[in-house]
């Protein structure tokens, strides 16, 4: 009888402890479930961001390929247009030159049957003027050879000692020079003045 009472008392003492452990376990389980849920939400958000990033990457890649194709088409078109412009320019120049050649041939035929040297010389001068005018029309001009020597446009092939000219002044033109716009096609070959005490070749 006494034993039964003691057992009952012991059970009554253990019961509150057991309830607290169960409560604690339940709370820990709830915390773990909430933590897992938060992790799952974060993973879901990251997956969504990754999906959007991949879609943006695909769009950017497609845009890049499209721009690359457009640039290649533009490059080919620009090259064809440039070639076409060059060919058109050559054709126009050739057409002008052919007219001058016709006039030269007429002058040659006229010289065969005419003894009028003066008329022939006048005809050649007219053809020369026509040729120079055609070159100027296409941007080809004679290089100016008056004044001081300019190494960018002149080539000094000889020097001339003189007291009557300034140092480096062009004294004589041996061959005319020409330039296309600002590009020198060939420099003018000239003789340059030097003072008596400084005779030396200019290059």
Same domain? For 180 and 110 the reply is no
Given this model, what pLDDT does residue 46 score? Answer: 87
Residue tagged 């078109």 (tokens) = 77
Same domain? For 86 and 152 the reply is no
Same domain? For 129 and 198 the reply is no
Q: Rounded to 5 degrees, what are φ and ψ at 179?
A: -140, 150
CA angle 141, 146, 148 (to 5 degrees): 115
Same domain? For 127 and 153 the reply is no
Same domain? For 47 and 106 the reply is yes
Q: Among candidates 152, 153, 185, 154, which has minimal Cα distance to 171?
A: 154
Number of helices (H), then strands (E), belonging to the chain: the values are: 2, 6
Q: Among candidates 168, 180, 171, 97, which has minimal Cα distance to 143?
A: 180
The rounded distance, in Å, linking the Cα atoms of 172 and 58 is 72
Residue percentage of the chain with pLDDT more than 90:
46
Looking at 138, 161, 189, which one is the last position of a domain? Answer: 138
Given this model, what pLDDT does residue 185 score? Answer: 95
Same domain? For 128 and 168 the reply is no
CA 199 from centroid of its chain's CA atoms:
47
Same domain? For 155 and 199 the reply is yes
CA angle 16, 19, 21 (to 5 degrees): 115
Same domain? For 169 and 91 the reply is no
Sign of CA dihedral 75, 81, 85, 87: positive
Neighbours of 86 (CB within 10 A): 10
Q: Rounded to 5 degrees, what are φ and ψ at 138?
A: -100, 15
Looking at 118, 138, 158, which one is the last position of a domain? Answer: 138
pLDDT in tens, 101-152: 998 898 888 888 877 888 888 888 999 999 999 999 999 999 999 999 999 9
Q: How many domains, in total, are found in the chain?
A: 2
Q: Residue 156 belongs to a domain with what CATH number?
A: 2.30.22.10
Same domain? For 124 and 176 the reply is no
Looking at 138, 153, 183, which one is the last position of a domain? Answer: 138
Same domain? For 9 and 22 the reply is yes
Given this model, what pLDDT does residue 152 score? Answer: 95
Same domain? For 193 and 98 the reply is no
pLDDT in tens, 62-84: 999 999 999 999 999 999 999 99
Given this model, what pLDDT does residue 24 score? Answer: 67
Q: Which range of residues forms the domain containing residue 158?
A: 141-203
Same domain? For 40 and 99 the reply is yes
Residue tagged 């061959």 (tokens) = 175
């Amino acid at each position: 009888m006494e034993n039964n009472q003691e057992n009952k008392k012991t059970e009554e003492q253990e019961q509150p402890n057991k309830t607290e452990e169960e409560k604690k376990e339940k709370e820990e389980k709830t915390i773990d479930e909430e933590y897992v849920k938060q992790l799952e939400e974060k993973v879901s958000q990251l997956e969504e961001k990754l999906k959007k990033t991949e879609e943006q990457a695909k769009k950017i890649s497609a845009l890049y390929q499209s721009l690359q194709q457009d640039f290649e088409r533009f490059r080919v078109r620009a090259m064809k247009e440039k070639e076409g412009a060059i060919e058109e320019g050559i054709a126009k120049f050739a057409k002008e030159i052919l007219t001058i050649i016709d006039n030269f041939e007429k002058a040659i035929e006229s010289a065969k049957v005419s003894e009028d040297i003066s008329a022939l010389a006048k005809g050649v001068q007219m053809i020369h003027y026509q040729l120079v005018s055609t070159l100027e029309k296409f941007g080809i001009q004679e290089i100016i050879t008056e004044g001081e020597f300019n190494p960018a446009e002149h080539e000094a092939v000889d020097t001339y000692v003189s007291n009557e000219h300034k140092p480096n002044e062009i004294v004589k033109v041996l061959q005319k020079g020409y330039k296309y716009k600002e590009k020198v096609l060939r420099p003018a070959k000239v003789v340059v003045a030097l003072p008596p005490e400084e005779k030396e070749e200019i290059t």
